[in-house]
Chains A and B, each alone.
Chain A
Amino acid sequence: MWVKDYMITDYLTAGKDLTILEAVKLMVENKTNSLVVVDENKHPIGTLSSYTLVREVVPAYLKDDPIFSNFGAEGTFDKYAEKMKDHKVDDIMHKDFHTLSVDDAMIEAASYAIKASRRIMPVVDKDGLMVGVVTRTCIKNALYNTLFKDEQIDPENGGNNK
């Protein structure tokens, strides 16, 4: 199984100066859980996922140990959402993402996908230009096709995740 067979080419990108507020809107409107942050030359410089956004809402004192949130007050979620909404994507995106190339095997995508917080991996061609992304949905589709050989799905449309 190859990355090139399961990557999706219709993906969402954003600039690093986007605010969290704008990123949430963009992701909800596009019905996607992740996007790739790119520079002016469309080179990937970071990734963002719904996990990243949720992580920003949870204040530091609850991140270390969620046990304290058992006593959390109503309104705390709203309060911290309000506090973080103007932060820039640049400050919260994952900069240590993994880049795949079209010739990589699926096991590489799978192995990196299970490392915490990496919901999306950009895929580049031989010249380093971004040609697609692999999300966990793509990997799930690959898993389906390898287990159900008789009823293959089209990886490009199989998932509900762009």
Chain B
Amino acid sequence: MHEELVGVAANHITSGAVTAALLIFLASYGAIISEKIHRTIVAIFGGALMIVVGIFMHFYSQEAAIESIDFNTIGLLVGMMIIVGVTKDTGLFQYVAIKSAKIAKGNPWKILIMFSVITALFSALLDNVTTVMLMVPMTLVIADNLRINPMPFLFVEIFMSNVGGTATLIGDPPNILIGSAAGLSFMDFVVNLTPVVIVMFIVLMPLVKFFYKKQIETSKENMERVMQLNERDGIQDALLLKKSLIVLAIVITGFFLHGWLHMEGATIAIFGAGLLLLLDKKNPEKALHEVEWITIFFFIGLFVIIGGLEHVGVIAWAADKMIELTQGSLAITAMVMLWGGAIFSAFVDNIPFVATMIPMVQEMGHTTFTDPTELNTIWWSLALGACLGGNGTLVGASANLVVAGMAEKSGYKIGFVDFMKMGLLIMFVTVAISTVYIYMRYL
């Protein structure tokens, strides 16, 4: 009876349709990984092609494609990008960075600790790319003042942005995707991921000290130069800075309460963006220009491509296969997600990976892990793996590439292999910590 029903429901899906959808998906994935064509072009064209082919082969439509787009993720990203875009020109972040360097008394090792904390904290509350785009120039300026090599700082900031981003719902795109799809709240992330991220931070600092402290020593005279800097010099618009702080406070409070308020993340972020634009009252053109539409369209295209794959049943099939392989064991499935996710994300973009895994995990929630606490274990494993894998190589996360790009243009080339040696170690340590954490807390 059951099989008959499935047979009827899937009747209009021909094997040709499955092949076509799978080909479009694999070709898009291959093109994204090869980086020969910009990933956003691939996503837009691949998504459109999936709809066109889907209409001809009766497995997809424009309506279905639009339904596949997770507008909560899109809204959350756009809202936060607007808020950050307005705030970053006020001088707030420069103020915080200089102030912290002075609190550290200009001592390079203490500044490195301060900048690690700031990078991790900002990455947890804002997006990683913005965080590093603010931290890299600040670091280079401070390193010039201290007459030291900025390279250890740049490495550590990459590591801390990926580790810090893991901590919250809004910290890293995989978490936004997971939180939105699984209905997990900001507080759920704070309760389940933030503690282990704090442990990682504490474990990583001695490691960083061992490798880098000697490389960044400098003279008293150079430290004095940092102490002479005036943190207020960077403030461009004190009034807007205050307004930005108020909005950021409202938004972050909103995130902490959003599960309880029954509001989605996008509602909070867009509300904050709207409020800040209203308080600023300037022409919104510049603020909207700051939104990374390239990333937004990448997400949209990706959702549409994966939606097509879902409609032909490939995702459900793959989920079943994976459960077969792990024999339905929660522990094995969680470890595959964690380690598989980390290794995969170290070499390719974690966004398409997580976007593909999400419907698979949802499918497992229908078939195998029907207990929500079991399913959540899978979600946390996926989030930890995908986010922490970003540290493995220079191409593991967008933030890494942004740092490398800015550094190279300023005369500091970060070598792929140089980075990978340290990156894989950091990834291994943090994923190992996650393994212990998942076993102790959930299994």
Contact = CB atoms under 8 A, between A and B. Distances in A.
A135 to B, nearest CB: 30
B141 interface: yes
B145 A71 contact: yes
B94 interface: yes
B141 A83 contact: no
Say whether chain A's binding surface is mostly helix, strand, loop, or mixed. Answer: helix
Interface in B32-54: none
Interface in A45-69: 59-62, 64-65, 67-69
B233 A71 contact: yes
Interface in B71-122: 89, 91, 94, 98
Contact of B411 (A62, A69, A83): A83
Interface residues of A, number: 18
A74 to B, nearest CB: 8
Contacts of A59: 140, 409-411
A67 B409 contact: no
Contact of B233 (A65, A70, A75): A70
A128 interface: no
A75 B143 CA distance: 12
B136 A76 contact: no
A25 interface: no
A69 B133 CA distance: 15
Interface string B270-294: 0000000000000000000000000
Given A61-B410, A73-B225, A68 B144 contact: no
Interface in B137-178: 137-138, 140-142, 144-145, 147
B94 A68 contact: yes
Contacts of B140: 59, 61, 68
A79 B145 CA distance: 12
A130 B108 CA distance: 56
Given A59-B409, A76-B144, A83-B411, A70 B234 contact: yes
B27 interface: no
Interface in B398-419: 406, 409-411
Contacts of A67: 89, 91, 94, 234, 236
Contacts of A79: 144
Contact of A60 (B138, B144, B147, B409): B409
A71 B409 contact: no
Contacts of B98: 71
B409 A61 contact: yes
A64 B140 CA distance: 14
Contacts of B406: 60-61
Contacts of A83: 411
B137 A64 contact: yes
Interface string A62-97: 101101111111011001100100000000000000
A13 B410 CA distance: 30
A34 B138 CA distance: 33
Residue among A59, A72, A75 with max Cβ neighbours from chain B (10 Å) = A59
A69 B137 CA distance: 9
A65 B411 CA distance: 17
B229 interface: yes
B144 A72 contact: yes
B411 A71 contact: no
Contacts of B229: 71
A59 B94 CA distance: 18
A75 B234 contact: no
Contacts of B234: 67-68, 70-71
Given A67-B91, A68-B94, A71-B229, A61 B144 contact: no
Contacts of A69: 141
Contact of B94 (A64, A70, A80): A70
B161 to A, nearest CB: 16
A85 to B, nearest CB: 13
A78 to B, nearest CB: 11
A61 B98 CA distance: 16
Nearest to B225: A73
A100 B406 CA distance: 37
A83 B98 CA distance: 27
Contact of A68 (B137, B147, B409, B411): B137
A150 B194 CA distance: 77
A62 B410 CA distance: 9
Contacts of B233: 70-71
A58 B349 CA distance: 32
Contacts of A61: 136-137, 140-141, 406, 409-410
A153 B321 CA distance: 86
B411 A75 contact: no
Nearest to A80: B411
17 contacts: A59-B409, A60-B410, A61-B136, A61-B406, A64-B137, A65-B89, A67-B91, A68-B94, A68-B138, A70-B94, A70-B234, A71-B138, A71-B145, A71-B234, A72-B144, A79-B144, A83-B411
Interface of B: 89, 91, 94, 98, 133, 136-138, 140-142, 144-145, 147, 225, 229, 233-234, 236, 406, 409-411
4 shortest interchain CB distances as A-B pairs: A60-B409, A61-B137, A68-B137, A73-B144
Interface of A: 59-62, 64-65, 67-73, 75-76, 79-80, 83
